[in-house]
Amino acid sequence: QKEVEQNSGPLSVPEGAIASLNCTYSDRGSQSFFWYRQYSGKSPELIMSIYSNGDKEDGRFTAQLNKASQYVSLLIRDSQPSDSATYLCAVNRPSNTGKLIFGQGTTLQVKP
């Protein structure tokens, strides 16, 4: 089992719809969770971080965390073609180093 799992996609949604991206992780001790957006040929950009159960909203983005189910998700409301990118989920490894473990990423396509 991979430490951080994401569906590779592509996930295709029409413009204006809600895009839902999901991520599961294996280590129950993980405390920090992050979502990165990566455009083709560019480096990953941190867009959301979440540390406690529940929802965290930032503009059109909402991160959701459920530690009991070991599940973190990212919702993008009113999706725009400019949201088309690969979204990487990252989870800290609960060790003295606290390194982030990255999922393989989900490719999102928002169609006009």
| Opening angle at CA 67, ends 62 and 72, nearest 5 | 35
In the complex, minimum distance from the CB of residue 43 to other proteins, in angstroms, rounded to a whole number: 4
What tokens does 5 get? 């799992």
Binding-residue total with other proteins (CB under 8 A): 22
d(CA 48, CA 89): 10
Question: Should residue 88 be labelled a site residue for other proteins when binding is judged by CB under 8 A?
Answer: yes
Binding mask 38-77 for other proteins (x = CB under 8 A): ----xxxxx--x-x--------------------------
* Among 63, 76, 90, 91, contact with other proteins (rule: CB under 8 A): 90
Contacts of 112 (CB under 8 A, 6+ apart): 15, 81
Question: Should residue 30 be labelled a site residue for other proteins when binding is judged by CB under 8 A?
Answer: no
CB of 33 within 8 A of CB of 96?
A: no
Question: Should residue 105 be labelled a site residue for other proteins when binding is judged by CB under 8 A?
Answer: yes
d(CA 77, CA 95): 35
For other proteins, the binding residues (CB under 8 A) are: 31-32, 34, 36, 42-46, 49, 51, 88, 90, 92, 97-100, 102-105
